[in-house]
Structure 1
Amino acid sequence: MFLLEINLVERLRECLPAWEVMGWSTGKGNRDAAALVSVMFAAGALADVKEGAVGLAPGWSVLLSVKRGPAAAALLDTAISKVIEQLHNWVPGEAGGRKWGALKLARFAPPEFADGGLIGIELLFSTTGRYFGQE
């Protein structure tokens, strides 16, 4: 499940070349960048529970943040469009030894960080993967 981060980060780096895109677990990137995308596991739910298997639905946060300024709103609007175009209904493929379903935008909200001269938005995408237990 956590290996999905690599797929998400790579896809976002391709579509947002002017942004610093980093994963929470990999930690690669400059957190002081003027335009930052931070990808992290942020939520979880059970998609379904059956005898012998369970469907997990992890939520992946894509946090976009930019420094306040004349271009901030335009940067965010453009990035929001690109992120949704690239991730909503995209199938990330296999990660961690299992196939994952299409990502769906589950919610969006203002980020929870101290102002610090930044503005941003958090987009939460969910997917599903099946884990097998005892029969």
Structure 2
Amino acid sequence: MAADMDYDRIQNLRLEYTDQYVTVNSPRPELARFKGKIGRVITINWNGRALVQFDSGADRGWYDIDLDDLRVVDPPASKTPEGAASPASVPKEGPQHVEYKPSALEVARQARDKTHAQPSGQGGAPSDTQSPS
């Protein structure tokens, strides 16, 4: 019975906090490094703590932080400079043609298959020439 209440509580916390933007609001010294940073709640784990990802350069880890130490904030402003067109507003051109270029490994395999090709009646790798029917 207690497990059902915990399950429901965790699911409700997940619905409430997942994908919310948060800041750390705690005097705890181990959380001081997150001061002034905005993070996104990835999920709530089974012990009721938030997994938060802070977008701060190369540090893309998920941090396990108690919900009492977090404060929900508005999403950060877009990172596109003012006056610059956002990617969504730029009209897309038609499909672009990309020429197929086989890799060096594929070229070597094709050359090997051509030199080791057996007539189609004897099995093995198919040859480039067709036998008369």
For the superposition of Structure 1 and Structure 2, which TM-score range results when normalised by the shorter chain?
Answer: under 0.3
Structure number with the higher helix fraction is 2
Look at both structures and tell me which one has the larger radius of gyration over its CA atoms. Answer: 2
> Which structure shows the bigger proportion of residues in strand conformation?
1
- Greater RCO (Cα-Cα under 8 Å, separation 6 or more): 1
